[in-house]
Every structure is written in structure tokens, then in C-alpha cells.
Amino acid sequence: MPHGKRIAELLVNIGAVKLSIDPPFTWTSGIKSPIYCDNRMLYSHPDARDFVVQAFLARVRALQIVPDVIAGTATAAIGWGALVASHLRLPFVYVRKKSKEHGAKKLIEGDLYPGKHIVLIEDLISTGGSSVAAVEALREEGEATVSDVISIFSYELLSSAERAQQFGVKFHPLSSFSDLMDVAVEQGRLTNEEVSMAADFTKDPSQWRP
């Protein structure tokens, strides 16, 4: 079974993903969504956690450029990034969402030398905004080359693809909204009609309503 579909199954089976068309979920941004994904729950399930780590490793090894450093985004992907870096025997750093208000006021935590090629590990990609912000921090503060972001899951929103192109970076989700919809139908959690309604969400989430 491909990594994407298996990870979608794991997320659903451990309750990390919840699906509801009516009523939908409300994100902190106010967006109404048919799906809520909490990848942090994977940390508590050793078999699922190991599978995701191995999928990360396979994706990193398949990249054209071997990274010098692995980075993770705070806070959800710090653990994933550290696990990947440990397996690859590479240095690890993480990127804060905002700089410290004291001390050196850094965005990047860890020992990072300029000129390194970094692969960024991300928990989840929705609009892509936080991912490209972390990429820009690594490029500007870290003076690093960052061309690839690998995430556990992507909502496959058009805005994330646009941001990736704008900032010259490639997003590599291990699993996606499409994988999740396939699993939801196979397990009888959503009907084909509900899947069609959910798919409309990815086209224009700000205007989507069930």
C-alpha cells in the first residue's frame, strides 16, 4: 500500500482526523472545514509513529540533493524533525513561529552555520503560510538553501501550491486530502456525495459551506 493511503488510514484509525460535513469544523482562522487533523496524536502510537518516520526518511532519501541539516517547525514538527535527523545522523534545528522577545531574539534554535542545504520537516500544510515563513527564516536568518518541505499531511489547497511556487520551494506531503477521502469512502465514513462536497472545500475554503 502506498505511504499516502496507509498514513491516511492511520490518522483516521487513531482518531487524529475527524470528518464532518454538517456541521463542519471551524479553524482558528474562521474557515469552515469538513476535516480536522491533529497529527500530534501520532506521537502516542509507536507503530504509527514509526511508519511515518520511515515514510519521511524515504522521501528525504529520494530528493535530488542530500541535505546537510534537517529542520522542523515549532512546535508540532520538532519531534518529527528530530527523529528524522537522528536516523540520518544529521544536525537538527527548529524554527520558531515568532522570534524570542529576549536574548538574541532568534527565530532559529540550534547550531546552524551559513551556507547549508536544509530540508524542512512540517507537520501539516493548509494554506502554506507558516511553511513558507519558516523557509524564509532559514534562508534569511540561517543563510541556508531550502528547496524542499516534507509534511505528514496536506489539505491540497490551491493557496499552498501558489505559495510554494511564489517562494521557489517544493511541498512533499506524505499523505493528502485526496488519500483521506479515498479512505473515508472505503471505510463508510463518508458517502460519495459528501466527498464531492468536501472536495469543493479545497477549491475555495473561505467560501465553502456544506
Domain of residue 42, CATH code: 3.40.50.2020
- The answer for residues whose C-beta is within 8 angstroms of residue 172's C-beta and 6 or more apart is 59, 148, 149, 150, 151
Residue 208 domain flag = no
CA dihedral 16, 20, 21, 27 (to 10 degrees): -60
pTM over 0.95: no
Residue 114 domain flag = yes
Q: What is the pLDDT along the chain (210 residues), one digit of tens a residue?
A: 579 999 999 999 999 988 888 888 888 777 888 888 999 999 999 999 999 999 999 999 999 899 999 999 999 999 999 999 999 999 999 999 887 666 567 899 999 999 999 999 999 999 899 999 999 999 999 999 999 999 999 999 988 999 999 999 999 999 999 999 899 889 988 788 888 888 888 888 888 877
Nearest to 76 by CA among 37, 30, 113, 107: 37
Distance separating alpha carbons of residues 94 and 122, to the nearest angstrom: 10
Number of domains observed in the structure of the chain: 1
Residue 18 domain flag = yes
Residue 67 domain flag = yes
Parent domain of 30: 3-203
Beta strands 17-19; 35-37: pairing state: antiparallel
- 8 A C-beta contact, residue 18 and residue 35: yes
Residue 209 domain flag = no
